[in-house]
Protein backbone atom coordinates (compact mmCIF):
# COMPACT_ATOMS: atom_id res chain seq x y z
CA UNK A 1 0.00 0.00 0.00
CA UNK A 2 1.41 3.40 -1.00
CA UNK A 3 2.28 5.86 1.73
CA UNK A 4 0.43 9.17 1.24
CA UNK A 5 3.40 11.32 2.26
CA UNK A 6 5.69 9.37 -0.07
CA UNK A 7 3.28 10.02 -2.95
CA UNK A 8 3.16 13.76 -2.19
CA UNK A 9 6.96 13.99 -2.06
CA UNK A 10 7.34 11.95 -5.23
CA UNK A 11 9.32 9.11 -3.65
CA UNK A 12 7.12 6.42 -5.20
CA UNK A 13 6.88 7.93 -8.67
CA UNK A 14 10.40 9.32 -9.10
CA UNK A 15 12.36 6.66 -7.16
CA UNK A 16 13.77 9.15 -4.67
CA UNK A 17 15.36 7.89 -1.44
CA UNK A 18 12.93 8.07 1.45
CA UNK A 19 12.94 11.39 3.27
CA UNK A 20 14.06 11.21 6.91
CA UNK A 21 14.63 14.90 7.70
CA UNK A 22 12.46 17.88 8.54
CA UNK A 23 13.63 19.99 5.59
CA UNK A 24 13.58 17.16 3.05
CA UNK A 25 9.97 17.54 1.97
CA UNK A 26 10.44 21.14 0.79
CA UNK A 27 13.53 20.11 -1.21
CA UNK A 28 11.67 17.19 -2.77
CA UNK A 29 8.75 19.43 -3.69
CA UNK A 30 11.12 21.90 -5.39
CA UNK A 31 12.78 19.07 -7.30
CA UNK A 32 9.41 17.76 -8.44
CA UNK A 33 8.36 21.28 -9.46
CA UNK A 34 11.43 21.46 -11.69
CA UNK A 35 10.69 18.07 -13.23
CA UNK A 36 7.03 18.86 -13.92
CA UNK A 37 7.95 22.22 -15.47
CA UNK A 38 10.57 20.53 -17.66
CA UNK A 39 7.97 17.98 -18.76
CA UNK A 40 5.45 20.74 -19.49
CA UNK A 41 7.98 22.72 -21.51
CA UNK A 42 8.95 19.63 -23.50
CA UNK A 43 5.29 18.97 -24.30
CA UNK A 44 4.70 22.62 -25.19
CA UNK A 45 7.75 22.72 -27.47
CA UNK A 46 6.52 19.73 -29.46
CA UNK A 47 3.00 21.17 -29.62
CA UNK A 48 4.29 24.48 -30.98
CA UNK A 49 6.45 22.62 -33.50
CA UNK A 50 3.49 20.64 -34.80
CA UNK A 51 1.22 23.71 -34.90
CA UNK A 52 3.93 25.69 -36.67
CA UNK A 53 4.30 23.05 -39.34
CA UNK A 54 0.52 22.93 -39.88
CA UNK A 55 0.17 26.73 -40.05
CA UNK A 56 3.02 27.17 -42.52
CA UNK A 57 1.37 24.73 -44.89
CA UNK A 58 -1.86 26.76 -44.97
CA UNK A 59 -0.58 30.32 -44.83
CA UNK A 60 2.57 32.08 -45.92
CA UNK A 61 2.14 35.08 -43.61
CA UNK A 62 5.27 35.30 -41.43
CA UNK A 63 4.90 35.19 -37.65
CA UNK A 64 5.99 38.39 -35.92
CA UNK A 65 9.44 38.12 -34.30
CA UNK A 66 8.10 39.49 -30.99
CA UNK A 67 5.63 36.62 -30.71
CA UNK A 68 8.03 33.97 -31.93
CA UNK A 69 11.21 34.87 -30.02
CA UNK A 70 11.07 37.70 -27.49
CA UNK A 71 7.95 36.79 -25.50
CA UNK A 72 8.90 33.10 -25.00
CA UNK A 73 12.45 34.15 -24.10
CA UNK A 74 11.17 36.65 -21.52
CA UNK A 75 8.78 34.06 -20.05
CA UNK A 76 11.58 31.47 -19.74
CA UNK A 77 13.88 34.03 -18.13
CA UNK A 78 11.28 34.87 -15.47
CA UNK A 79 10.53 31.17 -14.89
CA UNK A 80 14.15 30.12 -14.43
CA UNK A 81 14.89 33.16 -12.26
CA UNK A 82 11.99 32.12 -10.00
CA UNK A 83 13.27 28.54 -9.75
CA UNK A 84 16.84 29.66 -9.09
CA UNK A 85 15.85 32.12 -6.35
CA UNK A 86 13.58 29.54 -4.70
CA UNK A 87 16.34 26.92 -4.76
CA UNK A 88 18.87 29.37 -3.35
CA UNK A 89 16.56 30.24 -0.46
CA UNK A 90 16.05 26.56 0.37
CA UNK A 91 19.81 25.98 0.31
CA UNK A 92 20.57 29.12 2.30
CA UNK A 93 18.16 28.06 5.04
CA UNK A 94 20.26 24.95 5.54
CA UNK A 95 23.74 26.27 4.86
CA UNK A 96 24.02 30.02 5.46
CA UNK A 97 21.29 30.74 7.99
CA UNK A 98 22.57 30.00 11.49
CA UNK A 99 21.25 27.02 13.40
CA UNK A 100 19.20 27.39 16.55
CA UNK A 101 21.31 28.12 19.62
CA UNK A 102 19.99 24.92 21.21
CA UNK A 103 21.09 22.81 18.23
CA UNK A 104 23.34 19.85 18.99
CA UNK A 105 26.95 20.46 17.93
CA UNK A 106 28.90 17.74 16.12
CA UNK A 107 32.18 18.05 14.23
CA UNK A 108 32.63 15.98 11.06
CA UNK A 109 36.15 15.37 9.75
CA UNK A 110 36.94 13.68 6.46
CA UNK A 111 40.31 12.12 5.71
CA UNK A 112 41.60 9.53 3.30
CA UNK A 113 39.58 7.32 3.59
CA UNK A 114 37.36 7.63 6.65
CA UNK A 115 34.88 9.87 8.44
CA UNK A 116 35.25 10.77 12.11
CA UNK A 117 32.63 12.47 14.28
CA UNK A 118 33.43 14.45 17.42
CA UNK A 119 31.09 15.47 20.24
CA UNK A 120 32.15 18.21 22.70
CA UNK A 121 31.48 16.20 25.88
CA UNK A 122 30.05 17.47 29.16
CA UNK A 123 31.79 20.85 28.96
CA UNK A 124 30.01 21.55 25.62
CA UNK A 125 33.31 22.86 24.18
CA UNK A 126 35.53 21.27 21.57
CA UNK A 127 39.21 20.93 22.41
CA UNK A 128 41.88 22.29 20.08
CA UNK A 129 43.28 20.04 17.36
CA UNK A 130 46.67 20.04 15.66
CA UNK A 131 47.28 18.20 12.42
CA UNK A 132 50.78 17.25 13.57
CA UNK A 133 49.25 15.30 16.47
CA UNK A 134 46.84 13.30 14.27
CA UNK A 135 47.62 9.60 14.71
CA UNK A 136 44.76 7.16 14.06
CA UNK A 137 46.63 3.98 15.16
CA UNK A 138 47.40 5.68 18.49
CA UNK A 139 43.72 6.51 19.00
CA UNK A 140 43.93 10.21 18.14
CA UNK A 141 42.83 10.49 14.48
CA UNK A 142 41.81 14.13 14.79
CA UNK A 143 44.95 15.34 16.57
CA UNK A 144 43.22 16.54 19.75
CA UNK A 145 45.77 18.46 21.82
CA UNK A 146 46.21 16.62 25.17
CA UNK A 147 47.34 19.91 26.76
CA UNK A 148 43.95 21.50 26.15
CA UNK A 149 41.63 20.68 29.06
CA UNK A 150 38.57 21.24 26.87
CA UNK A 151 39.55 18.24 24.76
CA UNK A 152 39.85 15.69 27.55
CA UNK A 153 36.14 14.85 27.49
CA UNK A 154 35.66 15.05 23.71
CA UNK A 155 34.00 11.97 22.22
CA UNK A 156 35.33 10.70 18.88
CA UNK A 157 33.31 8.12 16.97
CA UNK A 158 33.46 6.44 13.57
CA UNK A 159 29.65 6.44 13.51
CA UNK A 160 27.47 9.54 13.54
CA UNK A 161 24.85 8.95 16.23
CA UNK A 162 22.07 11.53 16.52
CA UNK A 163 18.75 11.96 18.36
CA UNK A 164 15.54 12.11 16.37
CA UNK A 165 13.59 15.39 16.22
CA UNK A 166 16.42 17.60 17.46
CA UNK A 167 18.24 20.10 15.27
CA UNK A 168 21.89 19.26 14.63
CA UNK A 169 24.59 21.70 13.55
CA UNK A 170 27.43 19.91 11.74
CA UNK A 171 30.86 21.52 11.46
CA UNK A 172 32.66 20.03 8.45
CA UNK A 173 36.45 19.82 8.12
CA UNK A 174 38.95 17.91 5.97
CA UNK A 175 42.50 16.91 6.84
CA UNK A 176 43.97 16.27 3.40
CA UNK A 177 41.86 16.72 0.24
CA UNK A 178 38.29 17.77 -0.58
CA UNK A 179 35.68 15.29 0.60
CA UNK A 180 31.93 15.40 -0.07
CA UNK A 181 29.71 14.67 2.92
CA UNK A 182 26.37 13.31 1.72
CA UNK A 183 23.41 11.48 3.25
CA UNK A 184 20.72 11.03 0.56
CA UNK A 185 17.85 10.23 2.98
CA UNK A 186 18.62 13.39 4.98
CA UNK A 187 18.87 15.46 1.80
CA UNK A 188 22.38 16.54 2.86
CA UNK A 189 25.37 17.29 0.64
CA UNK A 190 28.24 19.59 1.55
CA UNK A 191 31.94 19.61 0.68
CA UNK A 192 34.59 19.49 3.40
CA UNK A 193 37.58 21.54 2.24
CA UNK A 194 41.07 21.52 3.84
CA UNK A 195 41.77 24.79 5.66
CA UNK A 196 38.10 25.77 5.72
CA UNK A 197 35.18 25.20 8.07
CA UNK A 198 31.67 24.67 6.73
CA UNK A 199 28.40 24.41 8.64
CA UNK A 200 25.19 22.67 7.70
CA UNK A 201 22.21 22.10 9.98
CA UNK A 202 19.20 19.81 9.79
CA UNK A 203 16.71 17.89 11.93
CA UNK A 204 16.52 14.09 11.52
CA UNK A 205 12.99 12.81 12.06
CA UNK A 206 13.04 9.08 11.40
CA UNK A 207 15.08 6.66 13.55
CA UNK A 208 17.18 4.25 11.53
CA UNK A 209 20.59 3.64 9.98
CA UNK A 210 21.65 5.69 6.94
CA UNK A 211 24.71 5.53 4.71
CA UNK A 212 27.16 8.44 4.73
CA UNK A 213 28.93 8.78 1.39
CA UNK A 214 31.83 10.75 -0.01
CA UNK A 215 30.76 12.44 -3.24
CA UNK A 216 34.18 13.78 -4.22
CA UNK A 217 36.81 11.61 -5.91
CA UNK A 218 39.34 11.82 -3.06
CA UNK A 219 41.89 9.17 -4.03
CA UNK A 220 42.35 5.48 -4.76
CA UNK A 221 40.38 4.48 -1.65
CA UNK A 222 37.41 6.72 -2.44
CA UNK A 223 35.17 3.72 -3.07
CA UNK A 224 35.43 2.60 0.56
CA UNK A 225 35.07 6.00 2.23
CA UNK A 226 31.74 5.34 3.88
CA UNK A 227 30.26 5.59 7.35
CA UNK A 228 26.83 5.28 8.91
CA UNK A 229 24.44 7.70 10.56
CA UNK A 230 22.43 6.15 13.36
CA UNK A 231 19.32 8.11 14.36
CA UNK A 232 17.95 7.03 17.74
CA UNK A 233 14.88 7.95 19.78
CA UNK A 234 15.83 10.67 22.31
CA UNK A 235 15.91 8.34 25.33
CA UNK A 236 18.16 5.81 23.57
CA UNK A 237 20.47 8.55 22.37
CA UNK A 238 20.73 9.93 25.91
CA UNK A 239 21.78 6.48 27.12
CA UNK A 240 24.37 6.16 24.33
CA UNK A 241 25.78 9.61 25.07
CA UNK A 242 25.97 8.93 28.81
CA UNK A 243 27.93 5.74 28.15
CA UNK A 244 30.40 7.50 25.85
CA UNK A 245 30.83 10.41 28.29
CA UNK A 246 31.58 7.93 31.09
CA UNK A 247 34.20 6.27 28.88
CA UNK A 248 35.73 9.65 28.05
CA UNK A 249 35.85 10.58 31.75
CA UNK A 250 37.65 7.34 32.56
CA UNK A 251 40.54 8.13 30.21
Q: Does residue 8 sit in the same domain as residue 40?
A: yes
Q: Does residue 128 sit in the same domain as residue 72?
A: no
Domain boundary among 68, 95, 122: 95
Residue-level pLDDT at 86: 83
Q: Is the pLDDT of residue 10 over 60?
A: no
Residue-level pLDDT at 90: 79
Q: Stretch 229-233: mean pLDDT, rounded?
A: 97
Q: Does residue 80 sit in the same domain as residue 115?
A: no
3-state secondary structure 131-189: HHHCECCCCECCCECCCCHHHCCCEEECCEEEECCCCEEEEEEECCCCEEEEEHHHCEE
Give 144's contacts (C-beta < 8 A, 6+ positions apart).
Answer: 127, 128, 129, 133, 151, 154, 156
Q: CA-to-CA distance for 18 and 12, rounded, in angstroms?
A: 9
Q: CA-to-CA distance for 23 and 204, rounded, in angstroms?
A: 9
Report, in angstroms and rounded to the nearest whole number, the Rg of the chain calculated over CA atoms: 24
Q: Does residue 36 sit in the same domain as residue 122?
A: no
Q: What percent of the chain has pLDDT over 70?
A: 86
Per the prediction, the chain carries an average pLDDT of 86
Domain boundary among 44, 64, 95: 95
**Strands ordered across the beta sheet of 179-183:** 160-163, 227-232, 208-214, 179-183, 188-192
pTM over 0.85: no
Domain containing 144: what range? Answer: 104-249
Residue 18 CB burial class (10 angstroms; 0-12, 13-18, ≥19): middle
Q: Stretch 14-18: mean pLDDT, rounded?
A: 78
Q: Smallest Cα–Cα separation from 154: which of 115, 131, 130, 120? A: 120
Q: Is the pLDDT of residue 96 over 90?
A: no
Q: Does residue 90 sit in the same domain as residue 45?
A: yes
Residue-level pLDDT at 68: 65
Q: Does residue 186 sit in the same domain as residue 231?
A: yes
Q: Which of 71-85, 141-155, 209-223 has the lowest mean pLDDT?
A: 71-85
Q: CA-to-CA distance for 185 and 176, rounded, in angstroms?
A: 27
Q: What percent of the chain has pLDDT over 90?
A: 51
Q: How many domains does the chain have?
A: 2
State the pLDDT confidence band at 7, using cuts at 50, 70 and 90: very low
Q: Does residue 59 sit in the same domain as residue 114?
A: no
Amino acid sequence: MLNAQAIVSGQQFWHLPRNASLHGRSLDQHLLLNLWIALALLTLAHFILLVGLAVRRRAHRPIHKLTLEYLPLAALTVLFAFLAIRAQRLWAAQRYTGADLAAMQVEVTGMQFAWYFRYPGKDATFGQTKLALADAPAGNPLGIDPKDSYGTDDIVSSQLVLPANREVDLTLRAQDVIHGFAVPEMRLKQNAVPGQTAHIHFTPTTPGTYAILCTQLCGLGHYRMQATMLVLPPEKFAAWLATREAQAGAR
